[in-house]
Structure 1
Amino acid sequence: MEACPVCGVLIHLHLLEAHVNSHFDEHPGLTSHINEPDIPTARCTVCGALVPLVMLDRHERDHESASAATAAYNPPAPLPPAAATSSSHCLPSIICPYGCGQWIPVSELDSHELAHVMMAEGGQGPPLAPVGFGPGPGPSDIGGGDDEWMQAGLDDSYLYDDTDELYDTAAASEAAARRLQEEQDFEALRAKYGFSDK
């Protein structure tokens, strides 16, 4: 991330040129008078910077674009409940009704409840992952120290352990079951409508 030479906001390098141009394209000369009282300003809800009101929407969209571009590289750290409810771009979530204490996005509640049911029925099943973390490489997959973790785009806010292999196995099993179900659905459609795969 680089600081914008006009307003000083930290922007991802691939968005910096467009951000700087937006200062001059939309309202030439506005940045030189940014502290005048007749120009209404507002605080950015993402970074807290004081931004002219006419540029606030674009400024916040730049943050959203930057966070979407890096979401694949930096898994999000779990937010405390107060932060989860105050942020405007978080998914609606509830605390687990089974008492494990995790905040679960409403869209993932069914699968989380299913994991609890599977664990209760057979005592088996994958351990529940903290919300926001999925299967992925751990330090044993990457090797080396913190520098190599950072090069791979991982942060050390998540403790990688032996359960990562269980997550990978569970994900592979789920993908195989989904693939089998899709094949069965396709065969049912083929039988019903009489088409072939030729």
Structure 2
Amino acid sequence: MTRTLASLFGPLQPMALAEDLAAPLLALPIPESAADPATADIALSAAPEAGIAARASAAVPTVPDRFTVARGLAVVPVRGILTPNMAQYERWFGWATYHGLAETMAHLAASEDAAAIVLEMDSPGGLVTGIEAAAEAIAAAAAVKPVHALVSPLAASAAYWLASQASEIVMTPGAVAGSIGVALTAAAH
């Protein structure tokens, strides 16, 4: 039986997700080469050096792999279902994580190579846990240099929350954006 990405999200995790738009992503199979999904998410430790060591040992992409810079313009893809630090999603699908976005935005805000930043948005949203640090990092970068959110084609729910921290939001024709919200489903047996 093929496990899908939907199986990695518990029913009690608060999500800011446009579920109908996320359905195709949640239906993706977990790659056969993947490690045990139960241990896949690298938790950020209270000791920063431990978290850095854990991410390095897991072969998580480095900050420069999370963006490109050409002619002073940094482009940061914000794709997929957003999670706090699901390193496997970064490797398997090229999806953004909140921790990765926070690191990237801090790096680019301080970089002389990037005069402006474009967040290339294509996400139905994701988990609520961890989003605040990424949103704060985007707002902090926008206080230093122009940050443009390019919705191409989707910035829903948690992704729109992130986009709303940019200096401006621009949408391609037919793009969909909006609806910051959280849904929680609980059941008792």
Q: Which has the higher contact order (CA 8 A, sep 6+)?
A: 2
TM-score, length-scaled by structure 2: 0.23
Structure number with the higher helix fraction is 1
TM-score, length-scaled by structure 1: 0.22
Structure number with the higher strand fraction is 2
